[in-house]
Homo-oligomer: A and B are copies of this chain.
Amino acid sequence: MQRKVRIKDIAVMAGVSAGTVDRILHNRGNVSESALKAVEKVLKEVDYKPNIHISGLSLKRQYKIVIITPLVHEGGYWESIVNGIRKTLKAYENIKVNPIFHLYNQYDIYSCRSTFDAVLKENVDAAIIGPTFKQETQLFTKKLAEKGIPYVFVDSEIDDTAPIAFFSSNHYVCGYVMGKLISHIIPPDEGIGILQALRVGGESANTTVLRKKGFGDYYRENNMKNPIVQIPFSVLEPEKNDALMHDFFHKNRLGGVVVLNSRGSVIANFLAKNNIESVKMVCVDPTLPNIDALKNGFIDFLIGQRPEYQGFFAMRTLLEYLIFRNPVQKENYLPLDILTKETIDYYTRFNDNFYL
């Protein structure tokens, strides 16, 4: 139980004052070469860990942080991410941060673009980005980099960008596991329906593409024989979906459905309404409607991506980086949780109560 080393201790050991140590720790300059050397020598010998809460207590600086995400829906995936971000702010209440939330329509590239433009006009200290459109995000982050504004990604990463960190699940593995799970619960000869959303601007979300690849690889590696069929579906014209699906399920006799985006409940509800109980489902994201479908037995396995933690750690990492400029771990893949009817309640209750 040896006492923690404090700034004061370092000051004594280096033969300088606490103020000087603080200046060095924060790279505030105005320090002589000799003082710098003496302190750095001590720092190498001892393991100094600043106490972030106390630090924040006396820190006058306020950090302006933008959070840019797709539109948040109640009980949805992005709400969980935002909740996680808010939990960090609560847990580190001593640190003064001014969070600014910007939401864009993830199915409309123009909405995303104008949100990015708006952010660039503000003067922010850092950004948390939930990306959807690859090129737009690359352009945006390039401008952030030019301004020296650090940023982190949540949900997924984007090629050719330089975030200080990203927090996401491995979407490829997610799809791979979905393949495994569906293969466990339907006979090897029955058809599997796949759902994939269509976006304005022609791009399919990066995450879905990766999941599809994972699913396909599992399918091939394990010599699955189930016929694969695409389920037609439109996010922008939802009124057409019911007819599309009626037609589809009339023509196709499926053993199971795999939904590679978070909209599994749409299919599940369709099946429920039409009393089709034989179709097994594997879906992503414990959103409220998905949880309902899981509990009612229309979804058999649901994959969770710990969105609260993505948000929580993204904000926490950003704060620690802003305050101490410590190097941070860049790649952060969160667990993929396999949820069933039996385990879902414990899962959600825990996520609701976990604060800190």
Once the chains bind, are B51 and A93 in contact (CB under 8 Å)?
Answer: yes
Interface flag for A273 (CB, 8 Å): no
Interface flag for A275 (CB, 8 Å): no
**Chain B residues with CB under 8 A of A339:** 338
CA distance A178 to B156 in the complex (A): 32
Once the chains bind, are A173 and B343 in contact (CB under 8 Å)?
Answer: yes
Once the chains bind, are A343 and B338 in contact (CB under 8 Å)?
Answer: yes
Measured CB to CB, the closest approach of chain B to A67, in angstroms, equals 15
Tell me the interface secondary structure of chain A in the complex.
mixed
Interface flag for A347 (CB, 8 Å): yes
Contact A94 B53, CB 8 Å, known A333-B349, A353-B329: yes
A57's partner among B1, B54, B332, B353 (CB-CB below 8 A) is B54
* A176 (CB) vs chain B CBs: closest residue: B342
Once the chains bind, are B335 and A347 in contact (CB under 8 Å)?
Answer: yes
CA distance A334 to B333 in the complex (A): 22
Interface flag for A91 (CB, 8 Å): yes
Measured CB to CB, the closest approach of chain B to A53, in angstroms, equals 4
A53's partner among B54, B98, B177, B338 (CB-CB below 8 A) is B54
CA distance A335 to B185 in the complex (A): 23
CA distance A333 to B185 in the complex (A): 28
Q: A residues within 8 Å of B by Cβ?
A: 1, 4, 51, 53-54, 57, 91, 93-94, 98, 169-170, 173, 176-177, 180, 184-185, 306, 309, 316, 329, 332-340, 342-343, 346-347, 349-350, 353, 356
* A312 (CB) vs chain B CBs: closest residue: B356
Once the chains bind, are A342 and B180 in contact (CB under 8 Å)?
Answer: yes
**Chain B residues with CB under 8 A of A51:** 53, 93-94
Once the chains bind, are B177 and A342 in contact (CB under 8 Å)?
Answer: yes
* A177 (CB) vs chain B CBs: closest residue: B342
**Chain B residues with CB under 8 A of A356:** 91, 316, 356
CA distance A316 to B91 in the complex (A): 13
Contact A343 B336, CB 8 Å, known A91-B356, A94-B53, A356-B91: yes
**Chain B residues with CB under 8 A of A1:** 98
**Chain B residues with CB under 8 A of A169:** 346
A335's partner among B334, B336, B350 (CB-CB below 8 A) is B350
**Chain B residues with CB under 8 A of A342:** 173, 176-177, 180, 336
Once the chains bind, are A343 and B335 in contact (CB under 8 Å)?
Answer: yes
* A350 (CB) vs chain B CBs: closest residue: B335
CA distance A69 to B142 in the complex (A): 53
CA distance A91 to B49 in the complex (A): 12
A94's partner among B54, B93, B184, B332 (CB-CB below 8 A) is B54
Measured CB to CB, the closest approach of chain B to A2, in angstroms, equals 13
Measured CB to CB, the closest approach of chain B to A294, in angstroms, equals 13
CA distance A139 to B343 in the complex (A): 33
Measured CB to CB, the closest approach of chain B to A356, in angstroms, equals 6
Once the chains bind, are B346 and A173 in contact (CB under 8 Å)?
Answer: yes
CA distance A185 to B180 in the complex (A): 11
28 A/B residue pairs, CB under 8 Å, sorted by A: A1-B98, A51-B93, A51-B94, A53-B54, A53-B94, A54-B54, A91-B356, A173-B343, A176-B342, A177-B342, A177-B343, A184-B184, A184-B185, A306-B350, A316-B356, A332-B353, A333-B346, A333-B349, A334-B350, A335-B346, A335-B347, A335-B350, A336-B346, A337-B337, A337-B338, A338-B339, A338-B340, A356-B356
